Amino acid sequence: MCLLSLPLLLFLLCAQTKAGEVIGGTECKPHSRPYMAYLQIGTSEGHQGACGGFLIRRRFVLTAAHCAGRSLTVILGVHNKNKKEDTWQRLKVVKQFLHPNYNSSTFLHDIMLLELENKANLTLAVGTLPLPPEFNFIPSGRMCRAAGWGQTSADEPASDTLQEVKLRLMDPQACKHFPNFKHNLQLCVGNPRKRKSVFKRDSGGPLLCAGIAQGIASYAHWNAKPPVVFTRISHYRPWINKILKEN
């Protein structure tokens, strides 16, 4: 499921082995991103994977569809994923809502809602993140932030703490080397002249622009060179609202 090679040597941003932080970023102040969710993924082969995600309702986490697995556990209130704190809330995922048009070959519609077994307790370390309205088509050039527990580069060792990085929204032409990139469905993120990006195991994490979750980390080039592709959340608001209303 994770670390699949794509036609142009792209990588999904989830991983089953290595972990670390975003590339060219800095460590977050502990619990300053209370919406962040750490996903533990159990696969049908018995392997353990991981992704990021973010809390949008007390019982729902938004993440990437390619982070689906045989079983999922969400941990909220995490800073160092290997150092349990009193802030942690470990919640079982009871239902995975993959977008019905998700394509595992092209990674279009790479979005998934997770329903939790119990409601999260909202605390200083655990909170929800607002989403954009349906017609909020954010323009290129905006500076945004991404966060996650992904690798520092294609070959750097792991780091356990939550990291964040500032990334610029690029013109869609910057992602023309990705054959399946669709500007109305996705965001092209990260200046190719700068070594700042998200990478493996950052999948499913949010792209924040002015405090609003505009994107979901989807895939990157194999060598971690930006730009990378995020799912454009505003396009999927009707689907998200439908799932939340019915559940």
DSSP string spanning 70-138?
SEEEEEES-SBTTS--TT-EEEEEEEEEE-TT--TTT-TT--EEEEESSPPPP-SS--------TT--P
3-class DSSP state for residue 229?
strand
Q: How many residues does the chain have?
A: 247
Q: CA-CA distances (angstroms) from residue 95 to 125, 145, 205?
A: 24, 29, 19
Q: What is the C-alpha to C-alpha distance for residues 219 and 229, in angstroms, rounded to an integer?
A: 5
Taking 3-state DSSP, the helix, strand and coil percentages for the chain, each rounded to the nearest 5, stand at 10, 35, 55
Active site residue 155: no
Structure tokens at 111: 């979005």
Catalytic residue among 31, 110, 159, 221: 110
Strands 10-12 and 48-57 come out as: unpaired
3-state secondary structure of 246: helix
Catalytic residue among 66, 79, 99, 221: 66
Catalytic entry in 203, 218, 221, 235: 203
Q: Which residues are catalytic?
A: 66, 110, 203
